[in-house]
Amino acid sequence: MKSFALTLAGLLAATSLASAADLPVRKSVEFAPVAPAFAWTGFYVGAQAGSMWGRDRTTEYLTATGAYTGFAWKYNLDSGFGGLHAGYNRQFGMLVAGVEIDADRLIGAKGGFRDPGGIGRASRTWNFSARGRLGVAFDRVLVYATGGYAATRAKYHYFNPALGIGEGFARTFSGYALGAGVEYAIANNLTARLEYRYSDYGKASYVARSAFLGLTGTQQPRDHSARLGVSYKF
C-alpha cells in the first residue's frame, strides 16, 4: 500500500510539471521611451526683423503762457527694421519668466506735415527696449506677454517759408513697450518667434529760437510693430 501511494504521488507530480510546461510564457511589456519636454531655462541671443507703423504728433503752444494755439499735426513714420536681441529665461513647471533687451535699426522712418505757415519733417533712426517676459510653455510652444522700458532716437526740422529760416532738434525719447507673442523650439538650441508690440516714447518739447519765435512745439512719437525673430539658446 505504501508503495502504491508513492507511485501515485510521483505520477501526479510528473503530470503537474508537464501541464506547466505547456502554459504560454508571459513576456514583459516594453514601453517606448517618452521624449522629455523642452526646457526653456537658459541664456539666448538672436536677431529679428519686421515692420513698424510709426506715429507722431506735433502740437503747438505759446512759449510765454503755455497756451495751446489750436494747431496740431499727426503723421506717419512707417518703417522696416532689423536688429539683435539677448535674454534669459527661467522655467517653473509650465510657467516661464525672463528678461530681454533688444535694439533695432529703422529703415526709412520719415514723415512730417505741411501747411501755409510752416513745414515740419521728422525721422527716427533706432529703437531700444529692456523688458520682462512672462509666459506659459506647452512643451516646445511658448505663449508670452512682454513689457518694460523703451527708447527711440528722433530728429525734427521745422521750416518757415515766409522767412526762409529753418531750425530743429534731435532727442532720445523714452517710455514703455507692451506686447505679446508666440515662440516655438525648432531644435534644442534654436527657437523662432512672432511678436506684436506697442511702444509709447513719451513726449518732448522744443522752444523755437529763430524760425518760429514765441512758439513751442511738442513731439509724441509712438509705434506698433510686428516682428519675426530667431534665437540661439545656450
- What pLDDT does 5 receive? 43
Share of the chain above pLDDT 90, in %: 83
How far is residue 217's CA from residue 26's CA, in Å, rounded to a whole number? 87
Query: Distance between terminal CA atoms of the chain?
Result: 85
Q: What is the mean pLDDT of residues 116-123?
A: 94
- Say if CB 94 and CB 130 are below 8 A apart: no
User: Mind listing the pLDDT tens digit for each residue in 135-182?
Assistant: 999 999 999 999 999 999 999 999 999 999 999 999 999 999 999 999
Query: Residue 184: is its pLDDT beyond 90?
Result: yes
Asked whether the predicted pLDDT for residue 214 surpasses 50, the reply is yes
Cα(18)–Cα(5) distance, rounded to whole angstroms?
20
Classified as helix, coil or strand, 209 is coil
Quickly list H helices, 23-52: none
- The whole-number pLDDT of residue 205 equals 95
Res 37: pLDDT: 84
Tell me: pLDDT of 23 over 70: no
d(CA 191, CA 63): 52
Q: Would you state the pLDDT for residue 122?
A: 97
Looking at residue 13, its pLDDT comes to 45
b/e sequence 181-199, b meaning 16+ C-beta within 10 Å: bebebeeeeebebebebbb
Mean pLDDT for the stretch of residues 58-68: 97
